[in-house]
Every structure is written in C-alpha cells, then in structure tokens.
Structure 1
Amino acid sequence: MPEIWMPQAIKVDLGDHAPCDPGFPPKAIAHITADLNATVEAPQDLVPFARLKTFFTHDGQGLAPHILWDPFTGAFAQFLPATSRSKALADSPGGTRTNRAGAVVLQIEALFFPNCRADGRVCAKLTDTPCKGWSELNTWVRSWGVPDTWPMGRPTDFVSARSPEVWRSRGGWYAHAHVPENNHIDPGSWPAFVQEQPGESGGGDADRPEFEPFPGPSFFQTGRKSPVIAAMHRRLVAEDCNRYRSSSNISVWGAGDARSYTAWQKKLGSSGSAANGIPGKASWDRLRVPNV
C-alpha cells in the first residue's frame, strides 16, 4: 500500500481527518500560495517556508492542503494523510464535494507567487524555479493511482477552464483553475511529469492514452485557453479542414475553431445541426487529437 505520509515531508498532522469519495477517480490539485502581490517592476522576496507552515497549522488550518512544497529548496510539509480530504478548495453545499471527489484528492500548494525573489533570482512562473523535490512529489502522488495526465490541459497561464463533466469522470492532475465551484486561476504553470523509474507502478507516460480523451461539449467555450485546443487546431489543419483566418492564439477557442470543426464534421458526412462546429465524442475520437 502507498504511504499515507510522504516520506520526504515534515509531518504536521492537523487531525480533523475525513474520508474521500471513491466513487470518483483519483486526483491531485495544483495550487500556488500566491501570498504576495508582486510585479516585474517591483518583485518581492519569497515568504519563508516556515511562515507558511505556521500559517497552515494555526489561523489557516481551515485552508490547509495536504502538502506544502518549496520548489526552491525541495522542502515539504504535510498536514493531512493522503486518505483524508483537505480543505484547500471551495466546496459549495450540495455541489460536487470538491475536496472529496476522488479515491484521493491530493492538494499540493507550491510556495510561490509570480515575480517572487529568492536567492537574488526573480521568477515569473513556477516553472522558472529550480522545482527541487518535484520528482519525489510526482512519484508519491503517482503511487496513489493519480495518472500523469492533465484532463483539462497542463496549466500554462493564469486562466480558468472548468468542466464539471470532466471533473466527475476523469482522474489526473487539475489546476486550481480547473476545479468546479472555485474562482481561482492558479497555478499558472507546473513542471512536466518525471519519467517513471524502473520498478515503480502506477501512472507514467507508458500508461497515458495516445490520444486526448473527449473533454465534453461544455469544454468548448469562447475564450477558453488550453493546450488541448491547440492540439485540436493542428489536427484540423492536417485534415484539410483549415477555416482559420489567423494562426495566432491557437490555444484559445474561437470562431475559427467552430468553422474548422464544422468542416471536419461535414468531412465525416454530417450535415445540418449535426455539423454545428461543437465537438461531439464520436467526431472527436475520429480526429485523434494527440494527448497533451
């Protein structure tokens, strides 16, 4: 059985354990602490790890994640066991029970805010940091059956993209910006998955599907940004269904995507309301969008 306490983490058990819901697939949620506002012109020093650890063990207990991760030093603190829900997500009464909607729902808070300064180095994105400890963290999360995939796309910017249908049905990593009932737009970026080492079990690239699973019709909303949309764009062009008027912002869903997808639906033999430019599962599966 995987270890409920990450071996590399300082164990700070807050108590108040409560079960997750195994009726949903296992998930991990990526957050950043976002504890200070800084700009390119006015960067600010990173808040010390010990201060955030103290916050989550005192006044911030009601917001504590499972893991606090310092990507500059590789330090970890863990406040709740993997088998318990944490409280780092907004969870509306009668909704999807976001903090529990999975066999595990592992909440990871990276100690980071945009334009933070540490050791004289200013980092605009989390991926600009050394990301020390990520290999160990990725391996531990994977040991709990969370697959190495982003059902809503790996975060590359501070934008939201939420689909309750995808959230309910697919396991993997979600940005805070992907979680229903929440309005945060973090983490903005996240490191790439590490290659699974010999002898490990669970996720990894070998277990990832070759093609991107259908994210559901509600995913395709005007202005939604995702690498999934960019991958779809490239496939439509390759299938001679290019009805785009620009090659910029290919990761953002817009009118050109709808026109090009209509062309794809017609190529498959659809017509009328069945060729409305909104992807359906059958046409999506036949487009064979590479997994991102």
Structure 2
Amino acid sequence: MTDAPYDEEKNPTWKLLLHTTEGATYQVARAAYVNGGFSPHVTVGPDPNQVDQVHCWQHVSFAYRATALADDPGGIRTNRDYVLQVEIVGFCDPNWSSSPLYIHNWPLWYQQGVAAVLNDMLTARPIPRVSTVTWVEYPASYGERAPQRLKWKAYDAYSGILGHEHAPENSHGDPGDVSAFLRTYLLT
C-alpha cells in the first residue's frame, strides 16, 4: 500500500509496535485498511483455511514505513521513525472478554503462532527483545494523555517492543496489557 521511506537517521533505533485489530477476522481488518488508506507491515491472525493455525499477511515491505499510526503533517512523524508495525487480529476491549481472541483468552496455538511471527519481525531488523514501557489495560490505556504514552523524544529514542498505546500523537489504547505474553514468548 505504500513505498514511502523512513526518515533518514544516522543511528536509527528500531521498534516493534503492536496493534490489535479490534475485529475477529483478517477480512474485517483488511477492509478497514483499504477504506482508511492505512496499513501495518503485517497482519497476523487465524488462518481462514486451517483450523488452529496462524497466518501472516504482509502489506508493506520492511524496507519501507507502514502507515497504521496517526502521523499528522507537521507533527510527530510516528510512522517514519524506524518502527515495524503488526496488527494482531483480536481484541483488547473487555467488552469482548468472552471471545477467544480477547488478548487474555488467546488459545495456546494462537499465542505460539503470533509469537513466531513477532520473533521473525524482531530478527528482520535490529530490534532488542526488551520492553521498558508500561503496558496498561484498555480502556485506561486510551487517550492522547494516557500516562503510559511516550513523549516524542522518548518515542524517537526507544528501541524495543511497544504498543499503539505508547505512540505519541495517537489516542488508541491497543493492544492493552500484553506484558505476560511478551515475557513468555519474546523478551530476553
């Protein structure tokens, strides 16, 4: 969907930024990308053709920036700051807490499949397997002034794993508190 470059920096600090689609299928997420004119690098979710399997759809080459963050002209250039973005099909909103795709209900096969994709992304660029940000449950994570949201300089300097809830100039609160998942599968 895009071939736009990252901002040029001498020593970029790479990030892996997690989103949740707040929908139950890839098709719903894809329609939102097309209608909204934005996309992550990849979407990972249940494979529509295989039971208990995860599929990864790539939208943007890792050589180019994704466009799934708010990135107002003249403002903070959140998408351009060496950030790989992944949308995970699922929910952080507790109104969906009965769904198997609610972040705290992911079945083991889903956790492992999502983790495999994220591990591949972490090795695709020099992204450390750390997360030093505070992960907050949705809806407390929502809002431009939510306490876990990073200021521009902190975001620019950050290197590791973070979420949409941490990006400046954004209000979304996804993916909620995924810290237990990260500790189990991704962090060193």
Residue in structure 2 matching 1:107, options 85, 89, 102: 85
C-alpha distance in structure 2 between counterparts of 1:50 and 1:34, whole Å: 12
Partner in structure 1 of residue 57 of structure 2? 77
Deviation at 1:50, TM superposition (A): 3.2
> Normalising to structure 2: TM-score of the pair?
0.75
Q: Confirm or deny that 1:162 pairs with 2:149.
A: yes
C-alpha distance in structure 2 between counterparts of 1:51 and 1:122, whole Å: 16
Q: How many residues matched?
A: 165
Partner in structure 2 of residue 192 of structure 1? 182
C-alpha distance in structure 1 between counterparts of 2:3 and 2:30, whole Å: 18
After superposition, the C-alpha distances for 1:50-105 in whole angstroms (9 at most, x for unaligned) are 3433543x324x22111111166411111000111111000122223100112xx1
Residue in structure 2 matching 1:141, options 108, 115, 121: 121
After superposition, the C-alpha distances for 1:162-196 in whole angstroms (9 at most, x for unaligned) are 22232121211121111010011111132225668
After superposition, the C-alpha distances for 1:147-166 in whole angstroms (9 at most, x for unaligned) are 1122323x241213122232
Partner in structure 1 of residue 49 of structure 2? none
Q: Confirm or deny that 1:180 pairs with 2:181.
A: no
C-alpha distance in structure 2 between counterparts of 1:34 and 1:97, whole Å: 24
194 and 145 in structure 1: CA distance in 2 versus 1, 3 angstrom threshold: farther
8 A contact 1:125–1:188 mirrored in 2: no
* Counterpart code for 2:156: R
DSSP 3-state at the match of 1:80: coil
Partner in structure 1 of residue 133 of structure 2? 152
**Structure 1 unmatched ranges of 5 or more:** 1-13, 36-45, 197-203, 206-292
8 A contact 2:45–2:114 mirrored in 1: no
8 A contact 1:150–1:174 mirrored in 2: yes
* Identity within the alignment, %: 27
RCO comparison, higher one (Cα < 8 Å, 6+): 2
* Counterpart code for 1:179: A
Deviation at 1:34, TM superposition (A): 1.7
DSSP 3-state at the match of 2:175: coil
8 A contact 1:33–1:110 mirrored in 2: yes
After superposition, the C-alpha distances for 1:126-164 in whole angstroms (9 at most, x for unaligned) are 1321224123222212211111122323x2412131222
* Counterpart code for 2:44: W
**Structure 2 unmatched ranges of 5 or more:** 47-51
C-alpha distance in structure 2 between counterparts of 1:64 and 1:124, whole Å: 21
77 and 124 in structure 1: CA distance in 2 versus 1, 3 angstrom threshold: closer
> Which structure has the larger Rg over C-alpha atoms?
1
C-alpha distance in structure 2 between counterparts of 1:92 and 1:55, whole Å: 19
Q: Confirm or deny that 1:63 pairs with 2:38.
A: yes
Deviation at 1:21, TM superposition (A): 2.7
